[in-house]
Structure 1
Amino acid sequence: MRKMISDFFVDHPSIKVIGTARNGKDAIKKIQMLKPDVVTMDVEMPEMNGLESLKVIMKECPVPVVMLSSTTKSGAKITLEAMASGAVDFITKPSGPISLDLQKIQSDLIRIVENAATVHVSKLRHAAHMDVGRTTSPIEKVSTISNNAHIVENNLREVNVKHSVKWDSHSKKIVLIGTSTGGPRALQEVITRLPQNIPAPILIVQHMPAGFTKSLANRLDQLSKITVKEAEQGDILQAGVAYIAPGDFHLHIRKIGMSYGIELDKSEPPRGGHRPSVDVMFEDISNYNDFDKIAVIMTGMGSDGAKGLQALKNKGNVIAISESAETCVVYGMPKSAYATGLVDEVADVDDISNIIMKYLP
């Protein structure tokens, strides 16, 4: 397995494999000695597994780590714990713990490693290390919106004013969240801070393969005051419940009497390589004007969500929130959303729940 992964990078123009490790303990020693830019690490290893090793690495010698995981239920659960503990991303092995057909994921693994190499290690600290005690208003503090630019109080207010959203805090609301790389930890920061009595349903698209979204939902449900579940066909939307789109399905809704239900779609192909897609969810919800929308775009590679945000804004009453560059693991999706000129609020991830609640009755 180590030989196969090393061979993937033999002809790569800018990535060189500088070492391999037999297990977690060996990995920690090698990382301290060789100081790599990126580490790929199996979830399942002898002596010290990937999760145990990751926790030590992020504490003693932090570096972007990409986890390789099996698609088993236990593998998915451990992978989600690894993401919460600072892993930048993960990829599933095609056929179990010993996958001799790893070449099936060669191009994806190379792309993920290339992306991981651009991530600043300070963004990967465990969520518990974040200063959760801050109560500063998002409009009072500086919010980063690109690597070289900041907007402060006046600019934020100008952003809010220029959209002239006619917001009635007492009308029906729905919250829409889209995220990708770094998303599991960002969702943990946001969802666990929402109150149990939040007066709106929450729809979430997190780019993840089938099998992992259920583990993500279960993990967030255990940590949160609200109910979090993997969305199922026909689920009736309820306030105080977050529905995570299952891997390999687009998320739609449909009207059922006076209520709305979940519609899962596998017939439409992936959009921009993603199924579920944030654009697809946003575009579908834009067709329903029975409620105002709060659209949130957080950390992730690429631009998924930007086109969908335009559809939402064109057809209804929408408040758009994007995560700041300061807390994004990857400032791709929020940057693309901000570039549309339609974002109303820019905020650090630990302030997003407060901003959501600000717009609810």
Structure 2
Amino acid sequence: MLAAHSGIQVVDTAKNGKEAVAKVKQLKPDVVTMDVEMPEMDGITALKLIMAENPCQVVMLSSLTRRSAAVTLEALALGAVDYMEKDARAWVADSATTGMALVDKIIALGGRKQTVSRPLTPMKSEPEHVSNSKIDAVPEVEIPVSVDTLPKFPDCKIVTIGSSTGGPAALQTILTGLPGDFPVPVLLTQHMPKAFTTVFARRLNDLCAIKVKEAEDGDQLLPGCAYLAPGGQQMIIDPLNAAKLIIRESDERMTYKPSVDLTFASVAKGYGSRVLAIVLTGMGADGCDGARMLKKAGARVWAQDKDSSTIFGMPKAVITAELADAVLNIDNIRQTLTHWGQR
């Protein structure tokens, strides 16, 4: 699939992690796709060595199991920039669509500067289904920013955040800065399959002062709590009760499951102008239509800037449509929310 595309040159293949490390050192590719499970040397061990010796954009290929999801999040903690679900049935049933998704991802990442993405902080304790590979502690990097230079925080009753490629690291950067008594609920719509959102919510909850949970149908929205949309489903505000969530199965025609547009649109209807929406890193334009509805309702919309985005697609769409009230790097987003929450 990759070799057939005119914009991609496949320089070599490796049959195991040990060979991958050697070939990356020799060939210095822009992007590496790497399986989690490999003989002789697994993907996590190989990733550690690649990032230490020849850092580049690494996309992990992972099966749709909770154990693989945990290991893939471990890979993101070590500097992998993204992942691709390795669902054999999907690849066979619709190889053209799946192949194009992989091609688009590789081309987008290949055009970036060859730098390592900001690693996630390791979990405080690894659940049983995580591999035995240990993650070296990654220190938090704080960039001092004067409070006077931060944007004014809008008067809102809810914060809603949409993200895709690069989102796990961006969300962790933001959420770990929030105090436990953050005054409003936070909705998180991250493009992820079901097995991944379950593990990711648990991971964030372990790391954050606020409570983070995978959203469930009927959840009551509470301050100091973040609700992560479950993979494969849609998360919306109950039209009859804005303090309640509805989780429903997704229409098969929907491209994104969960969809940032759907969540944003429902929040616009439920909360009107009392919303802060943030569009983070990700491919495509999911969130742009929802941001337009939010703006019509009088809400505020922030977009992540290009330099701190893994992929600038989603925030760029919002900026190009002139829907962004502020364009901020990830550290300024974190510090503005933290400062507001500590008032």
TM class by shorter-chain length? 0.7 to 0.9
Whether 1:85 and 2:78 are equivalent positions in the alignment is: yes
Per the alignment, residue 183 of structure 2 pairs with 199
From 328, 338, 344, the counterpart of 2:319: 338
| Shift in Å, 1:355 | 1.6
From 254, 258, 283, the counterpart of 2:265: 283
Overall identity of the aligned pairs, in %: 39
Separation of aligned partners in 2, 1:285 and 1:350: 25
Residues 95, 101 of structure 1: 8 Å contact kept: yes
Per the alignment, residue 55 of structure 1 pairs with 48
Per the alignment, residue 262 of structure 1 pairs with 245
Per the alignment, residue 61 of structure 2 pairs with 68
Taking a change above 3 Å as real, the CA distance of residues 124 and 290 of structure 1, as seen in their structure-2 partners, is closer
* Partner-residue secondary structure (3-state), 2:206: helix
Question: What is the CA deviation profile of residues 53-79 of structure 1, one whole-angstrom value per residue up to 9, with x for unaligned ones?
Answer: 212212210111111101111100011
What aligned pairs does 1:119-268 form with structure 2 within 5 A after superposition?
Answer: 119-122=112-115, 124-127=117-120, 132-137=141-146, 140=149, 167-168=154-155, 173-254=157-238, 260-268=243-251
The amino acid that maps onto 1:215 is: V
TM-score (norm 1): 0.82
After superposition, the CA RMSD in angstroms is 2.6
* Partner-residue secondary structure (3-state), 1:135: coil
Separation of aligned partners in 2, 1:112 and 1:191: 26
TM-score (norm 2): 0.86
Question: What is the CA deviation profile of residues 12-68 of structure 1, one whole-angstrom value per residue up to 9, with x for unaligned ones?
Answer: 212222211122221111001011121110011123211222122122101111111
Separation of aligned partners in 2, 1:125 and 1:139: 26
Separation of aligned partners in 1, 2:296 and 2:338: 23
| Shift in Å, 1:267 | 4.6
Taking a change above 3 Å as real, the CA distance of residues 282 and 214 of structure 1, as seen in their structure-2 partners, is same
Structure number with larger C-alpha Rg: 1
- Aligned residue pairs total 324
* Partner-residue secondary structure (3-state), 1:41: strand
Per the alignment, residue 118 of structure 1 pairs with 111
Residues 270, 277 of structure 1: 8 Å contact kept: no
* Partner-residue secondary structure (3-state), 1:66: strand
Taking a change above 3 Å as real, the CA distance of residues 198 and 101 of structure 1, as seen in their structure-2 partners, is same
| Shift in Å, 1:241 | 0.9
The amino acid that maps onto 1:301 is: M
**Residue segments in structure 1 that go unaligned for 5+ positions in a row:** 1-7, 142-156
